[in-house]
Amino acid sequence: MAMTMMLEDWTDQAIAIDFVDKGRWPQVKEGLPPTISALAAATHFEAKPGSLMIAPAADGAPARLFFGVEAPDAKKGDPLLAGKLATVLPEGLYRFGDGVGDPETSALAFLLAGYSFTRYRASKNEKPRLCAPQGIGRARIERIASAVAFGRDLVNTPANDMGPEALAEAALALATKHGAQSQAIVGDALLAENFPLIHAVGRASAQAPRLVEFIYGPEDGLRVTLVGKGVCYDTGGLDIKPSSAMALMKKDMGGAATTLALASMLMDGGVPVRLRVILPIVENAISSNAFRTGDIYRSRKGLTVEIGNTDAEGRLILADALAYASEDQPDLLFDFATLTGAARVALGPELPPFYTGDDTLAEEIAACGQVANDPVWRLPLWDNYDSGLEGKVSDLVSITSGGFSGSIVAALFLRRFVSDPARWAHFDAYCWNPSTKPGRPEGGEVQSARLLYDLIEARAGKAAK
């Protein structure tokens, strides 16, 4: 479905792109041929970050390019700025020239920016192509870009073509591709296998709820379990959303898409982990058998939960999935979910909050996010809010009264179903770019997978020593 860009083999015949900053530009300009200096003066090119000057050859084709970037010592700036090149360059084969501070990140940004969702409309223009910079980890960059494109495709596909059946098929196809052991528990079999909350949330849909699981890798590897929220469409249930809030609900399976993108990176990269992927997959629909506010269900863990709002369904399916994930005591447990609007109010669409019970793991996540240019921000599991989840006629209520600190409360609810919060981290992501920025085209997005690929790869390397 995606138009996924890959890198080309290096050739010095490709058109060079020199990276220049405003401080260095006057010196560079002095050494240019008079015709190019005159062009710079005529176009007022000053090497501002993101600006581009194309010097043509005699036949009009691009001959030499200059791309404005931040100075090396700048304290701010977009590390994925080079991704803009994939959207502004004319068709052709290019290579990085002088001044590229981080060719690996720049090449990845170029590939991420070149993504196009083409399932329903073919791309109108030919994309520029980039030679793999010499000395970089080409295979790893292409692996990451391909996995992100896969996840973006899943999020971008509307619910009429990406319902529970299709999402489960995509997960099982990925498992089969890498020879993983897999299973799917569908419909009323969820009750027989003790996943009552997943069944309750998804039973009103024409497509039955399901849990997909696959396991990959050596039995003695670092045990990593990934759980992803797979709500293929969220009407809000009987507490129905207004139409404006439903407009992007095809992306409510973004947690599952992130999980599959990360799993793809790990399996394709041969990272020596015992990987377990668990996806609770449903559609939160409205029918005569839809679950209701005030209903009480016994969860897989045995805790009874009173439903406070049917539009807070994601935490319910994750509760059963996390309880299941915790039963074999993994070394690391990560869950991903487009869980709360409160997270977006607090941090916006670009910065997903995460929660964990371990300070060391939190520091590692934050550090990997900074290095991978995959930003996240830790929010606290504030224990003073936990008592609000205590039920009057049940063990728990699914939401607290008052409406405050919604993302924190949701994380605290999930913590109730995790056996060891020190090995667990929860990511409350948006999984959508409201507008195009370098390396981040408008539409579905995979957030936090790239940083965790780095983290898990590093942890697995240590464990193997």
User: DSSP secondary-structure letter at 390?
Assistant: B
**What integer pLDDT is reported at residue 1 of this predicted model?**
53
Does the annotation count 301 as an active-site position?
no
**What integer pLDDT is reported at residue 456 of this predicted model?**
98
pLDDT tens digit sequence for 66-77: 999 998 877 788
- As to burial, measured by CB atoms within 10 angstroms (0-12 exposed, 13-18 middle, 19+ buried), residue 215 is middle
pLDDT tens digit sequence for 406-430: 999 999 999 999 999 999 999 999 9
Helix ranges (DSSP H) in 159-304: 164-177, 189-192, 196-202, 243-246, 254-268
pLDDT tens digit sequence for 273-286: 999 999 999 999 99
pLDDT tens digit sequence for 32-59: 999 899 999 999 999 999 999 999 887 7
Q: Three-state DSSP class for 463?
A: helix
Does the annotation count 315 as an active-site position?
yes
Would strands 129-130 and 273-284 be described as parallel, antiparallel, or unpaired?
unpaired
Phi, psi of 374 (to 5 degrees): -130, 75
Phi, psi of 419 (to 5 degrees): -75, -30
CA distance linking residue 279 with residue 273, whole number of Å: 19
Task: Label residue 402 by pLDDT band (50, 70, 90).
Answer: confident
**What integer pLDDT is reported at residue 462 of this predicted model?**
73
Go through the domains of the chain in sequence order and give each one's CATH number. 2-136 (3.40.220.10), 146-464 (3.40.630.10)
Paired strand residues for 428: 337
Dihedral sign for Cα 299, 346, 452, 421, please.
negative
Catalytic residue among 129, 315, 344, 415: 315
Catalytic residue among 140, 241, 298, 378: 241
- Inter-CA distances, 185 with 80, 165, 179, 260, 325, Å: 41, 12, 19, 18, 15
State the chain's mean pLDDT as an integer: 95
Dihedral sign for Cα 365, 418, 216, 272, please.
positive
Tokens of 406: 């919604």
**What integer pLDDT is reported at residue 63 of this predicted model?**
84
Interaxial angle between packed helices 138-156 and 254-268, expressed in degrees from 0 to 180 and rounded to the nearest 10: 160
Give percent of the chain above pLDDT 70. Answer: 99
